[in-house]
Structure 1
Amino acid sequence: MEAIKDSTKEHLHDIMTAKEVAEYLRMSHKTVINRAIRGELPGKQIGSLWRFSRKSIEQFV
């Protein structure tokens, strides 16, 4: 059961917020959102929030 909990925690870190992406790429939060809207950054909008796959962002770089 513990392995399942650890696996779930690992997957939670696979998804990044726009703020986390901005810090990772050293650009502003607004730039991350604008580039995601234009399709220049791989991300998904969920309601008013943006989420990004860590793997996709690392491949982008």
Structure 2
Amino acid sequence: MSKLSRSLPDGAVRQKGGTVVSREEILKLRDVADLLKVGEKTVYSMAQAGELPAFKVRGQWRFSRKDIDAWIEQQKHTTQDLGEDGQK
């Protein structure tokens, strides 16, 4: 690892020309489907309905790994708050 790399903030990378940018991971729909162990159609419909944090790039859904991880944690807490029959 070079001396320059070690001085960068966590999750940042130095581009050609010396510009430092964030290296936040952006996922495609199929990546999120694999991560959540559900079908691509499920992820698509959840993104369309606003149930998953997502954004579009030229009509294609994209997902921030950080946002998906936070959403997963939120879902864990929401599920734990409910009883077996789905009621509080």
Question: Is TM > 0.5 for Structure 1 vs Structure 2?
Answer: yes
> Which residue of 58, 63, 66 maps to 1:55?
66
TM-score (norm 2): 0.57
CA RMSD, 1 decimal: 2.3
Q: How far, CA to CA, are the matches of 2:56 and 2:38 in structure 1?
A: 19
Aligned-pair identity (%):
33
Q: How many pairs were matched up? A: 58
Q: Give the gaps of 5 or more residues in structure 2.
A: 6-13, 73-88
* TM-score, length basis structure 1: 0.79
**Structure number with higher relative contact order (C-alpha < 8 Å, ≥ 6 residues apart):** 1
Query: Secondary structure, in 3 states, of the residue corresponding to 1:27?
Result: coil
Q: Of the candidates 16, 39, 56, which is equivalent to residue 45 of structure 1?
A: 56
| Cα offset, 1:45, TM superposition | 1.4
Bigger radius of gyration: 2
Question: Larger % of helix: which?
Answer: 1
Runs of 4+ in structure 1 off by over 6 angstroms are none
